[in-house]
């Protein structure tokens, strides 16, 4: 998944939380193909 790069335009979170969020989303996109599964993975990450 080297061909994509996350761009955060505006956020009210610390840099650390932003990086954790990008990592969570990247993991979800690499692991799942179905949007519902990707969303569920990201939601679990934010619920932690």
Confidence (pLDDT) at 5:
86
Confidence (pLDDT) at 3:
75
Per-residue pLDDT of the chain (48 residues; tens, 9 = 90+): 457 788 999 999 999 999 999 999 999 999 999 999 999 999 999 998
Question: CB 28: neighbour CB atoms within 10 A?
Answer: 19
Contact 13, 19 (CB under 8 A): no
Taking the C-alpha atoms of residue 8 and residue 31, their distance in angstroms, rounded to an integer, is 22
At 1, list the tokens: 């998944």
The domain spans of the chain are 15-47
Confidence (pLDDT) at 1:
46
């Amino acid at each position: 998944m080297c061909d994509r790069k996350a761009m955060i335009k505006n956020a009210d979170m610390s840099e650390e939380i932003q990086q954790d969020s990008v990592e969570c989303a990247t993991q979800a996109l690499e692991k799942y193909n179905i949007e519902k599964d990707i969303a569920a993975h990201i939601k679990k990450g934010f619920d932690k």
